[in-house]
Every structure is written in structure tokens, then in C-alpha cells.
Structure 1
Amino acid sequence: MVKTRGGGAGVDAPARLGRFTRRQWIGGGLVGAVVLIVALAAVVFGTRFALTVEPLRSFVATHPGEYPLPPGAPVGIPPWLGWQHFFNTFLIVLILRSGWQVRNQKRPAAFWSPRGDKRRKMSLSLWFHLALDLLWTVNGVVYVTLLFATGQWMKIVPTSWQVFPEAFSAALRYASLDWPTHNGWVNYNSLQQLFYFVTVFVAAPLAIVTGVRLSMFWPRRAERLNRLVPFDAARRVHVWVMVYFVIFIAVHVALVMATGALRNLNHMYASQDVVNWAGFWIFAVSLVVLAAGWVAARPSVLVPLARLFGDVKQR
């Protein structure tokens, strides 16, 4: 029971999840879902109507949504790319989880500090986040190196200004639900290519640079460098990059499942351009591994691991 200012007994205060009660979260979620459905329906019907009008109808008929790759571009998705995709997914999901914990955690379960310098300490969640960031960065360097060594870069790096009108055409097709042809084994449509390029060569480097700026490893006394990359600006960019990755992953997974799931999963997980269940079962196993990593990311597992690289003090 809670008491009013006058001293009388009041009703039990409803439990809160963050700033709102459970009922407010549910109500807000339902209202948000209805608004989103109505907005998406308006986009679909509005785009379908617009595509009946010239010159937009001729534009879409002229632009299929993709342009030819340069001569010598590789065909297919090699096994190393599938493994890189899995490692990247595994790490980025745990990075998002640990980053959210760091942002919202008020009483860390433990603190980590380098051996010989206990004054520089961080929460166990932050240590785990930075360790994952390091592995993700190394995996990214390997990925980009292999991209350029094997020619696979030509599939995600625009090589013609034609990418922009083709991407606009592909966006109109998506918005009207008359989706462009998907054949990632040979070529991505131009909208996919732009998003993959931004994700690999813009969002990922921004996440790394801003993450280092927010960490204990940034040189605090480098005044010129600190003015070039202000702390508050880096924090805001880091959060928005996280939001971008969440949205990108959600849309990416939805389109993989909606545009020929078995074939798409075979491309990425089984390195074959056929329609069977091989890629699906490998994907299912990868989800089990991902779930195991999610469950294992708790202090009882992280404390012994963190002690291999420094000192850990638990509450």
C-alpha cells in the first residue's frame, strides 16, 4: 500500500517497467501496431496508384531495379562468406544485447580492471561489450579483406551511377508489394546493394570509431582529437547506429523469409543455388547456437572469462 500526502492509505502502486506500467506498455504497443499497419497500407495503396500514372509507370518499366555487374564479377556465394555471415550475426546480436545492458544497468554485478591498474575499471557488461566489439572488428577486417581478394566486393559496392535510379525503382516495387526479382546468387538489386554498402562501409566503421571514443582506451588528453570527435556527439551517433542495425536486421530477415526462404537460406548457409532444406537446417542450428550464446552471457559465465584478461571484483 502507498499513502497519500494527507496520511491516508492509497491503492497499491502499479509495477513499472522503466517509465511506464505494464498496462501502458501493452496499450501503447497495440496503438503503435494499429498505426503502423494503417501507415503501411497507405504506403502500399498510394504507391500502387502512383504507378498507374505516367511518367512513373514508364520509369519502372524501363528500370528493372538492378544494373549489370562489371565483367569478371564472381557468381555464387562461397562458403567463407556464409561463415562470416554467421559469425557477424552471432557477434552483432550479443553486442546489441550487451550495449543495451550497459545503457540501462544501474548496479553492475561486477567490475573489471586491467592487471596492475585497478583505478581504471569498468562494469562487467561494458567489458563484455568491448570484447565483443574487438572480435567483431577483427571479423570485419577479415571479411572486407576476403571481399576484395575474391571480387565479391562488386556485388555490394556500387560501380555505376545507374545504381540510384535502379534503387528508386526497386523501392517503388517493394512499396507496392510487386517486389523486384531476387537472385542474390548472381546479383543483388540496387536497393539491396546500397544498404549492404552503407552497412559494411559506413555504419560499421561509425560504430567502431564512436565505440572507441566512448571507451576507456580513448586518449583523454588529446585535446585536438577530442574536439574532432566530441564525446556527446559520439554517444548520440553510437545509439543511432545501434538503432540502424536493429532495423536493418529486422527488415533483412523479413525479406529473406518473404522472397523465397529455402533458396535464400541455401545461398547463405549451404553455398548452393537450389531449393531444398539443407540451408534451413544449418540456419536452425545457428539459431540454437545464438540462443545458447544469449543465455550464456551472464555473470556466472563472464566472470571466469573476464579474469583471464584482468581483475574482477564482484559485489
Structure 2
Amino acid sequence: MARTASPSAPSSEGPRRYGPLTARQWVGATVVGVLAIIGAATIVVQLTRWFLGLDFMQDFMATYPGQTPLPEGAPVGLPAWLGWQHFFNVFLIVLIIRSGLQVRTERRPPAYWTARWSKGGGRRISLTLWFHQSLDILWLANGLVFVVLLFATGQWMRVVPTSWEVVPNAISAGLQYLSLDWPLEDAWVNYNSLQVLAYFATIFIAAPLAAITGVRMSGLWPKDAPTLNRIYPVEWARAVHFPVMLYFVAFIVVHVALVFTTGALRNLNAMFAAQDADTWLGFWIFVASMVVIAAAWIAARPTVLAPIAGLFGKVGR
């Protein structure tokens, strides 16, 4: 008697999911998201151009072209030290953001670190947090050198607003960016007003906020100081520190996008080669710096960090 094949049981396994979605759903969601962004950007550009075409806005743009004159005696051009500072700052801030996100999401640290000079066994922190705080210290040192050189060489006049006219001019520059009719730029001589406000906010507001809140959450803050802790609760520091990090991420994304869309070769030459030219030197220095940063990103793993951390304390499970 012939045996009839029994129907196979339905498979309980569906398509593999990556987070809440399958690979096909992620592709579809990405395509829809990109199209939505392009559509929204197109609407914003067209509305901005219509707005700028109005008579009163034409008068506004003529009065405030997007740039204010520099104070008398302001230096012209970008010195070589600024290029080196730019590289060190990018190198450190990228790794700081990466390690900071790891600290927030880490559940089981790969190892712990205890300071060699601490008393009574000391406070243990994760190896990732040690790396993050070590980068913070280097970033602060680099920032102090940058600020000292900024004022010693007069370069501060390029990034510190010296007139209230910077505000309407910044609005003008922002509208020009939104209309994709880039403001007339000559960053080698003078930044537009929106750049001035962005650089000022980054150097003199965001960076100090990141430092002050970071110190409050670090092991450098005294634990046995009830009055000081009551005046400056750690919850306040946590509430500010993460948004400041998001500001730095947004600043980097916009900054890099504008560097490449408003004259990449000339911008990269000014930033990395201290030249006002359209040659490829600055581009290749930029590429080399990205290779160094990528290598550091890959190397920043427990097997590499543990021996370095061991020079300054005890590393263990």
C-alpha cells in the first residue's frame, strides 16, 4: 500500500529581522525616508526663494548681505597651527562621541579600571568610561591651547561677534543657504555671519558646557562634598551633557556638508594646508587625517585599550 506524504508543518520562522524590521522593510523604509526628505527639502527651497523675492526681503538682503566687516587689524588667512588644531580636535571629538555613546549603551563592560593612586581600593569604572574620560582630558588640553593661540594671534576677531549686526546678517546668510543660493564667501578673509555665530557657540558655549557637565559626572568630582553636590546635582549635568553631544554631531554633519558643497578644494586647502588655493594638497591631507581617525576608531577596542589603561591603574574584571 502506497504511503501518502503528510503535509509539511508550516514553518514558524519568518524572514530574519534586524531590529523591528526585515531587510526588505528596511530598504523600503529607507527609500521612502529619502524621498520624503528630498520632497520636504524641495518645498523648503522653493518657499525660501519665493520669500526672498518679496520686495521687503529684497531691501533686507541689500541692507544685510550676510557678512559684517572685521575689526581693524584683524589677521588675514588661516595659520598652519589652526590646521593642526583642527585635525586634533576632529580626531578627539569623533572618538569622544563614539565612546560616549558606548558608555550610555554598555550593559556588561569588557573590563574595569581603578586608579593606581586611589585610596582604599578606589572607585572602579568601566574601561570604556576610562577611555572616554581620558579623551576628554586630551580634548580639554587641546582646547586650552587653541583658545590661547586664538587670542594671542588675533584670530579671535574672526569668530567672536563684534557688532549686533551679526544677527540680521546671520539670518540673511541662513536664508541664502536654504534657497541654495550660497552666500558670497571668502572664508580665507572673513566668515559669513552665520558661520561666526556657529563657531562662537561651538567654541565658547558648547565646549565649556561639555567640559563642565563632563567633570560633574566623572570620577574627578569629589564624592564627599554634600553642599557642592546639592548646589550642582549630577542630574543637571546628565540633562545637559547628552544634548550638547547631539549639538556637536549636528554641527559636524552640517559643517562637513557645507565644506564639500561650497567649494571643497579651496575649503580643505584653507582648513588643512593653510593655503588660499584650489589645489589638491588640502584634500589629500584631509584624506590622510580620515585614515588616521578610522584606524583609531578600529583600534579602540578592549584588547588595545587595556594595556594602555594598565599604565595608569589596575585593569581587571
Amino acid at match of 1:202: I
Residues 166-205 of structure 1, C-alpha deviation per residue, up to 9 Å, x if partnerless?
A: 0011011001111101211100000000000000000111
- Report 1:242-281 matches (<5 A): 242-281=245-284
Q: Name 1:4's counterpart in structure 2.
A: none
The alignment status of 1:307 with 2:300, answered yes or no, reads no
Q: Distance between the aligned counterparts of 2:13 and 2:224, measured in 1?
A: 51
Secondary structure of 2:316 counterpart: strand
Which stretch has the larger CA shift, 17-26 or 227-236? 17-26
Q: Name 1:147's counterpart in structure 2.
A: 150
Unmatched tracts of structure 2, length 5 or more: 1-8
The alignment status of 1:67 with 2:68, answered yes or no, reads yes
Amino acid at match of 1:281: W
- Report 1:195-234 matches (<5 A): 195-234=198-237
Q: Name 1:124's counterpart in structure 2.
A: 127
- Report 1:26-175 matches (<5 A): 26-115=27-116, 116-175=119-178
Residues 246-289 of structure 1, C-alpha deviation per residue, up to 9 Å, x if partnerless?
A: 11001100100111111111101111111111111111111111
Question: What is the CA distance between 1:217 and its match in structure 2?
Answer: 1.9
Task: Give the total of aligned pairs.
Answer: 307
Q: Name 1:3's counterpart in structure 2.
A: none
Q: Distance between the aligned counterparts of 2:11 and 2:112, measured in 1?
A: 40
Between structure 1 and structure 2, the one with the greater Rg is 2
Alpha carbons of 1:14 and 1:300: their partners in 2 closer, same or farther (altered >3 Å)? farther
Q: Distance between the aligned counterparts of 2:23 and 2:106, measured in 1?
A: 20
Q: Distance between the aligned counterparts of 2:17 and 2:309, measured in 1?
A: 33
Secondary structure of 1:103 counterpart: helix
Residues 122-150 of structure 1, C-alpha deviation per residue, up to 9 Å, x if partnerless?
A: 11000000000000000000000000000
Which stretch has the larger CA shift, 49-58 or 109-118? 109-118
Secondary structure of 2:55 counterpart: coil
Alpha carbons of 1:152 and 1:291: their partners in 2 closer, same or farther (altered >3 Å)? same
State the TM-score, normalizing by the size of structure 1: 0.92
Question: What is the CA distance between 1:16 and its match in structure 2?
Answer: 5.9
State the TM-score, normalizing by the size of structure 2: 0.91
Secondary structure of 1:55 counterpart: helix
Secondary structure of 1:122 counterpart: strand
Question: What is the CA distance between 1:40 and its match in structure 2?
Answer: 1.5
Alpha carbons of 1:23 and 1:236: their partners in 2 closer, same or farther (altered >3 Å)? farther
Q: Distance between the aligned counterparts of 1:31 and 1:228, measured in 2?
A: 48
Amino acid at match of 1:251: V
Question: What is the CA distance between 1:10 and its match in structure 2?
Answer: 7.5
Alpha carbons of 1:53 and 1:249: their partners in 2 closer, same or farther (altered >3 Å)? same
